[in-house]
């Protein structure tokens, strides 16, 4: 939990956003984050973000599902309670394939979605500061973190020069917290 001061700039076109992101990164100001209403391809690259490893996690969860299913069914039919089904072998791999496949998919999907929520820090009841009410509608928002070493007006002027249609300074919680979206937080009211 840390309440910080931010300079917020809104752009109305992704074609203006890309050069602006480049300029902000070169300027040396501390870029907090960029908020967009839909996935803008290439933005992660422009921000220098690494490719996500979520799919690797998914693969590992899938393997867990495969081994759980095969291990569990084999244990049941070979050791825990072997039953003779029409003289067929106890370890009847072809008959285990459907359940094994389904559990692989199930584990991978559930695991990935939970990991996705964990990494993005999203969950029912989580609240985060929304810098602009239209950041999920039609505006692209660049947020720069302010500190004692930079002048507010300088940063705002710089952001305007990159093509922002709207700029302002906000004091906000930089992390997530538990809260209700219909209630304002103490720092938001002041």
Partner 1 sequence: MHLKYESFVREPLVDGDKTYHDITEDIISPIEKKPGRMWYVGFFFSVALLMFGVFSVFWEVYFGIGVWGINRTVGWGWDITNFVWWVGIGHAGTLISAILLLFRQGWRTGVNRAAEAMTIFAVMCAGQFPIFHMGRVWDAMWVLPLPNSRGPLWPNFNSALLWDVFAISTYFTVSLLFWYSGLIPDFATIRDRAKTKFRKRAYGLASFGWTGTAKNWQRQEALALVLAGLSTPLVLSVHTIVSFDFATSVIPGWHTTIFPPYFVAGAIFSGFAMVNTLLVVTRKILGLEDYITVGHLEAMNKVIVLTGSIVGVAYLTELFMAWYSGVLYEQEAFKWRIMGPYWWSYWAMMTCNVVSPQLFWFKKLRRNIPFTFIMSIVVNIGMWFERFVIIVTSLYRDYIPGSWTYYSPTWPEVGFYLGTFGLFFTCYFLFAKYFPVIAVSEIKFILKTSGENYKKKMNVIDEKSIEEFVHEQAHH
Q: Binders of partner 1 among 118-147, rule CB under 8 A?
A: 119-130, 133-138
Sign of CA pseudo-dihedral 19, 21, 22, 28: positive
Give yes or no for residue 172 binding partner 1 (CB under 8 A): no
Q: Which is nearer to partner 1, 93 or 151 (CB)?
A: 93
Identify which range of 22-30, 103-111, 149-157, 166-174 contacts partner 1 by CB under 8 A: 103-111
- The backbone torsions φ and ψ at residue 136, rounded to the nearest 5 degrees and listed phi first, read -105, 10
Q: Which of 60, 64, 106, 169 binds partner 1 (CB under 8 A)?
A: 106
Q: How many other β-carbons are positioned within 10 Å of the β-carbon of residue 140?
A: 26
In this structure, are residues 155 and 146 in contact, taking their beta carbons and an 8 Å threshold? yes
Which residues lie closer than 8 Å to 49 by C-beta, 6 or more apart? none
Tokens of 82: 């072997």
User: What minimum distance in Å lies between the beta carbon of 158 and partner 1?
Assistant: 20
Q: State the Cα–Cα distance between residues 142 and 139, nearest whole angstrom.
A: 10
Contact 37, 138 (CB under 8 A): yes
Run of H or E residues at 166? strand 166-173
Q: Candidates 22-30, 117-125, 158-166, 167-175 — which segment interacts with partner 1 by CB under 8 A?
A: 117-125
* Interface pick for partner 1 out of 2, 80, 148, 149 (rule CB under 8 A): 80
Is residue 52 a contact residue for partner 1 (CB under 8 A)? yes
Q: Which residues bind partner 1 (CB under 8 A)?
A: 15, 33-44, 47, 49, 51-52, 54-55, 58, 62, 72-73, 76-77, 80-81, 83, 85, 88, 92, 95-96, 98-99, 101-103, 105-106, 108-110, 112-113, 116-117, 119-130, 133-138, 176, 180-182
């Amino acid at each position: 939990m840390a309440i910080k001061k931010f300079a917020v700039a809104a752009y109305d076109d992704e074609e203006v956003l890309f050069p602006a992101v480049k300029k902000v990164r070169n300027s040396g100001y501390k870029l907090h984050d960029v908020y967009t209403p839909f996935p803008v391809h290439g933005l992660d690259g422009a921000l220098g973000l690494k490719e996500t490893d979520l799919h690797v996690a998914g693969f590992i969860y899938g393997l867990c599902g495969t081994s759980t299913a095969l291990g569990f069914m084999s244990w049941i039919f070979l050791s825990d309670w072997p039953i003779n089904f029409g003289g067929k072998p106890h370890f009847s791999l072809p008959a285990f394939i459907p359940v094994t496949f389904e559990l692989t998919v199930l584990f991978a999907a559930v695991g990935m979605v939970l990991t996705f929520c964990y990494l993005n820090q999203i969950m029912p009841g989580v609240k985060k500061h929304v810098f602009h009410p239209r950041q999920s509608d039609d505006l692209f928002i660049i947020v720069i973190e302010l500190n004692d070493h930079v002048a507010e007006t300088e940063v705002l002027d710089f952001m305007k020069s990159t093509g922002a249609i709207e700029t302002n300074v906000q004091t906000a919680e930089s992390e997530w917290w538990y809260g209700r979206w219909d209630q304002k937080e103490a720092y938001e009211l002041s």
